[in-house]
Amino acid sequence: MRLLLLLSAPALLGLLASCGKDPQSGRAATKQTVPVTTATVTQRAIPIQIRAIGNVQPYSTVSIKAQISGELFEVHFEEGQYVKKGQLLFTIDPRPFQAALKQAEATLQQAKASLKQAIANLAKDTADAKNADAESARYAQLYHSG
C-alpha cells in the first residue's frame, strides 16, 4: 500500500500543479486556444524520394563512338534518362558535311559536262575519220585512174 502511495504521489503533485494558479500572474490558469487552418483536399501523384548516402551502380553502361568527327550540335537526352534502341542521341553540326556534299555534287556536274564534251568530241572525230576515209578512197580512185 505504501508503494502505491509513493508511486501515485508524484502523479498527484503534477496534476495539482497543472490545475493551480499561474505562477507569473497569481491568477487561476486559463486554457489558451490554438488557431486551426484548413486546406482543400487534392489527389495527385507524389514521387517517392529516399535521401540516403550510398553508392549507385548503373544497370548497364554503353560506350558511344561517333562514326564521323565533327562539332556536337545538339544532345537529345538528359543524363540518367532511359533511352531506346534506335533513338536519336546526338546531332553533329551538319554544315561542313553539307558543304562537302555540295562540292561533290558540283564536281559530279563538272564531270558530267566533261563527259558530254568528250562524247561530242568523239562524234566529231568519228565524223572526221569517216570523211577522211571517204576522201582517201576518192583520192585513191583518182590516183589509179590517172
Residue 42 φ/ψ region, left for φ over 0, alpha for ψ in the -120 to 50 degree band, beta for the rest: beta
Reference 87, options 78, 97, 100, 99; nearest CA is 78
Output the nine-digit C-alpha cell for 30. 486559463
- 8 A C-beta contact, residue 97 and residue 70: yes
- Cα separation, 50 vs 84, whole angstroms: 27
pLDDT tens digits, residue range 102-126?
A: 999 999 999 999 999 999 999 999 9
What is the pLDDT, as a whole number, of residue 62? 78
Asked whether the whole model's pTM tops 0.75, one would answer: no
Output the nine-digit C-alpha cell for 77. 537526352
